[in-house]
Amino acid sequence: MTRYPDIPKPIRSGIVVLDPDTGTPQRVIVLQFNPDTLERSVSPQSAGDSGDAGGGGAGSGDRNEALRLKGPAQETWKFTAEIDATDQLEVAAPDGIHPQLATLEMLVQPTTAQLRESMRLSKQGAIEISPIEMPLTLFTWGSKRVMPVRLTELSVNESAFDVSLNPIRASLSIGMKILTVSDLPAGHRGADLYMAHLAQKERLAAAARRGSVGSLGLGGIGGFGGTAAVPGTSFRRA
């Protein structure tokens, strides 16, 4: 009898809500299905203004700042997640997928206890009330992508309901911003987690296959020696 190798169980992506002081997970949200696609945007924090004045091609920024960065790049993620109660018929769901939707929505909502405390301070005549701080949220996409995030978008499209009008199928468009050391105070647990995420990027970049200027058809650039084979342009040693 032919035996097939065991098919590995896929790792699920998800969201972990942490206590920022102790680092203890308060809630783990496992996405029922991994999104088919991820849309990522990475924007550098350039020190100088990269605007171009046009015409002669003279930039309007400080030339000494052209290659300088003020801090880590700003990165955003967008993806679509699916929730379907009909795919889990063996699990009792008297409320449909209300609990799953509510769990995600509470990531961008203060609790009733926090709102009552804020109203209590307001009634006592507090001159200034600090904004409500939310728990630290991590997004995980495998072991190589674990990062602190803030949800910036949550759009829900409910497409099926049971006889009690509980939603049983929905598509969610989720947008999030990765929090960096520029967004968090020094010593914050989220800042440490971002540094670990950035260090992981550095390790992956170091493992990338190296290229050569010869592969680009160039004889040499600047300190690499020689003159590059770029029509109308010379790269010579200083």
Q: Is pLDDT above 90 for 36?
A: yes
**Mean of pLDDT values over 78-87:** 90
Residue matched to tokens 């550098």: 44
Of the pLDDT bands very low, low, confident and very high (cuts 50, 70, 90), residue 129 is low
Of the pLDDT bands very low, low, confident and very high (cuts 50, 70, 90), residue 87 is confident
H, E, C per residue of 5-23: CCCCCCCCCEEEEECCCCC
**Mean of pLDDT values over 89-100:** 80
18-22, 87-91, 166-170, 217-221 — which one is most confidently predicted on average? 166-170
Cβ atoms of 78 and 153 closer than 8 Å: yes
Judge residue 136's burial from the number of C-beta atoms within 10 Å of its C-beta, 0-12 exposed, 13-18 middle, 19 or more buried: buried
Q: In angstroms, rounded to a whole number, what is the distance separating the alpha carbons of residues 203 and 192?
A: 17
Q: What integer pLDDT is reported at residue 60 of this predicted model?
A: 59
The amino acid present at 51, given as its one-letter code, is G
What's this model's pTM, rounded to 2 decimal places?
0.78
Q: Is pLDDT above 50 for 230?
A: no
